[in-house]
C-alpha cells in the first residue's frame, strides 16, 4: 500500500516508536510522584516539553500537553471565553477544522456573537475583513495556520499583528503547519498555538497548546492540577515521549524535508495535470503547505475514486478524512466558491516523510487510470 494521506495522520517515525517503547518499559512511574520511578518519568516529561518548546521556539513553561489538536482547540477557545465576564464576539473563519467551529457554535448558543470570516476563491481570508470585524466586543480571534483539506496557508503574521494592535488574544490552529514548515510561535504573534503530534510522525492522541505567559485560561479538565493547573490528568507519558522525539527530529530537518516534499509534489501535480488536464488544484495560486494537493475533478465522485484507488493499493482521501464517515460535502471547497457537485469530486493527496519519487510515479499512473475508468463508467451509465 502506498500511503499518501499524511494530513489525516502521518505514520510514526522509527525514532518515535523507540522513544515510546523506552517510556513504557523504563518509566512506569507517575511523573508527579517524588520517588525514583516518578522522577524517571518526570525527566522524560521535561525532556519532551523542552523538545516541543524548541520546535516552536518558546520557553518550555508555555507548553501544555493535551490529547491532541481537538483538545487544544477546545482549551484555547473555551479556556479564554469561559473567563469572559460578559458575552462578546469571537472571530473565526469559514474554513476552520470542526474542532474550532463546533466550540464556537457552542459559544453562540451561550450568547456570544460568532463571526465566520469568508475566504476568497483561493481559500484565503482577507486581513481587511478581520480589521473591519475587530471591535471592543471581540474576546478572541481563532484562525488556522494551514488548512487540512487544501494546505492553503493563511497570512498568519498579518492576522497576529492586527490582533495584537487591537489587544485581542489570537489563537492559531497550527496542527497542519507544525512539522511541515518552520514554526515560530512569536512570529505568528499567537497567544495560543495548537499542535498535534500525529500530523508529523508522532503518536496519535497527543498534542500541545502553547500558551502566552500573560494569558490565564479556564482549565477544561479539573483535578490533580498537572500542567501547572492548566490541564489536569496524569500525563500520557509514552505519547508525550513520542511527541518529543518527533519534535526534536523534525526541528533539525524541517527545511530540507520541506524542500524534498515540495519537489515531489511539483512532480506529482505536473504529472496529474498532464494526464487529466481539466483537474483543478484548489488554492493553486495561494501559498500552500509543501505536501498537500486538493484536486477537483469534474464528473467524478471523490469517495468512489478513493475506494477505487484503495483497491489499486493507494491511500488518499476525499475531503477531510479526519471527519470521514460523513457524506455531506466539505465546508472548505464550498466556502471557496465550488458548487456542491464539484465539491463532492474533491480528493486530497498529502505526501510525507516516507514518500518517494517511485511511489509518486506509480500514483500518477494509477490516478489517471482510475479517473479514466470512472469517467467512462459514468458516461455509459
Ligand atoms: N485542526 C486541524 C487543522 C486538523 O487537521 C486536525 C486533524 N484532522 C485537528 C485540528 C484535530 O487534531 P487531532 O486529530 O489531533 O485531534
Query: How far apart (Å, rounded) are the C-alpha atoms in residues 118 and 34?
Result: 52
Q: Whose CA is nearest to atom 9 of ligand 1?
A: 69
| Protein residue whose Cα sits closest to atom 12 of ligand 1 | 69
Distance from Cα 71 to the centre of ligand 1, integer Å: 9
**Distance (Å, whole) CA 332 – CA 326:** 14
How far, in Å, CA of 248 to CA of 103, rounded? 31
Distance 139 CA to ligand 1 centre (A): 23
Specify the residue with its C-alpha closest to ligand 1, atom 5. 148
Question: Global pTM?
Answer: 0.96
Ligand 1 atom 10, closest CA: 69
**Model pLDDT, residue 325:** 56
Residues with CB under 6 A from ligand 1: 68-70, 73, 97, 99, 144, 148, 173, 175-176, 196, 198, 207, 322
Which domains are present in the chain? 2-9+254-375 (3.90.1150.10), 14-251 (3.40.640.10)
What cell numbers appear for 258 in the block?
A: 520541506
- Quote the ligand 1 centre to 331 CA distance (angstroms): 15
Report how far ligand 1's centroid is from the alpha carbon of 103 (Å). Answer: 14
Catalytic residue check, 172: no
Residue by residue, DSSP assigns 71-101 as HHHHHHHHHHHTT-SS--EEEEETT--HHHH
Q: Which run of H or of E encompasses 341?
A: helix 340-344
Q: d(Cα 159, Cα 310) in Å, to the nearest integer?
A: 39
Residue 339: CB atoms within 10 A of its CB come to: 11
Per residue of the chain (381 residues), give pLDDT as tens: 999 999 999 999 999 999 999 999 988 999 999 999 999 999 999 999 999 999 999 999 999 999 999 999 999 999 999 999 888 999 999 999 999 999 999 999 999 999 999 999 999 999 999 999 999 999 999 999 999 999 999 999 999 999 999 999 999 999 999 999 999 999 999 999 999 999 999 999 999 999 999 999 999 999 999 999 999 999 999 999 999 999 999 999 999 999 999 999 999 999 999 999 999 999 999 999 999 999 999 999 999 999 999 999 999 999 754 455 556 889 999 999 999 999 999 999 999 999 999 999 999 999 999 999 999 885 443
**Which DSSP category does 280 fall into?**
E
Backbone phi and psi for residue 288, each to the nearest 5 degrees, phi listed first: -135, 160
Amino acid at each position: 500500500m502506498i500511503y499518501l494521506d499524511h494530513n489525516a495522520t502521518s505514520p510514526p517515525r522509527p525514532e518515535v516508536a523507540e522513544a515510546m517503547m523506552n517510556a513504557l518499559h523504563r518509566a512506569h512511574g507517575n511523573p508527579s510522584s517524588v520517588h525514583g520511578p516518578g522522577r524517571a518519568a518526570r525527566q522524560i516529561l521535561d525532556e519532551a516539553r523542552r523538545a516541543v518548546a524548541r520546535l516552536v521556539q518558546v520557553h518550555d513553561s508555555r507548553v501544555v500537553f493535551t490529547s491532541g489538536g481537538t483538545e487544544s482547540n477546545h482549551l484555547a477557545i473555551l479556556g479564554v471565553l469561559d473567563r469572559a465576564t460578559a458575552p462578546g464576539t469571537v472571530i473565526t473563519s469559514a474554513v476552520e477544522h470542526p474542532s474550532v467551529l463546533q466550540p464556537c457554535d457552542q459559544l453562540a448558543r451561550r450568547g456570544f456573537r460568532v463571526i465566520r470570516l469568508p475566504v476568497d476563491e483561493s481559500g484565503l481570508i482577507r486581513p481587511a475583513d478581520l480589521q473591519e470585524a475587530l471591535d471592543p466586543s471581540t474576546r478572541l480571534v481563532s484562525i488556522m495556520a494551514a488548512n487540512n483539506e487544501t494546505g492553503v496557508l493563511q497570512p498568519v503574521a498579518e492576522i497576529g499583528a492586527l490582533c495584537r494592535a487591537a489587544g485581542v488574544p489570537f489563537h492559531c490552529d497550527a496542527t497542519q503547519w507544525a512539522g511541515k514548515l518552520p514554526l515560530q510561535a512569536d512570529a505568528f504573534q499567537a497567544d495560543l498555538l495548537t499542535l498535534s503530534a500525529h500530523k508529523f510522525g508522532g503518536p496519535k492522541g497527543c498534542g500541545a497548546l502553547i500558551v502566552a505567559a500573560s494569558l490565564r485560561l479556564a482549565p477544561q479538565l479539573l483535578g490533580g492540577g498537572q500542567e501547572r493547573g492548566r490541564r489536569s490528568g496524569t500525563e500520557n507519558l509514552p505519547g508525550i515521549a513520542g511527541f518529543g522525539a518527533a519534535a526534536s527530529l523534525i526541528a533539525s530537518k524541517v527545511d530540507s524535508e520541506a524542500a524534498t516534499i515540495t519537489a515531489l509534489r511539483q512532480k506529482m501535480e505536473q504529472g496529474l495535470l498532464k494526464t487529466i488536464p481539466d483537474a483543478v488544484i484548489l488554492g493553486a495560486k495561494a501559498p500552500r503547505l509543501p505536501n498537500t494537493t486538493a484536486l477537483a475533478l469534474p464528473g467524478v465522485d471523490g469517495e468512489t475514486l478513493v475506494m477505487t484507488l484503495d483497491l489499486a493499493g493507494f491511500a488518499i482521501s476525499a475531503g477531510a478524512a479526519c471527519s470521514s464517515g460523513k457524506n455531506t460535502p466539505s465546508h472548505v471547497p464550498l466556502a471557496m466558491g465550488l458548487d456542491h457537485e464539484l465539491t463532492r469530486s474533491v480528493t486530497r493527496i498529502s505526501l510525507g516523510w516516507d514518500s518517494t519519487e517511485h511511489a509518486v510515479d506509480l500514483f500518477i499512473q494509477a490516478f489517471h487510470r482510475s479517473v479514466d475508468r470512472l469517467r467512462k463508467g459514468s458516461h455509459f451509465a
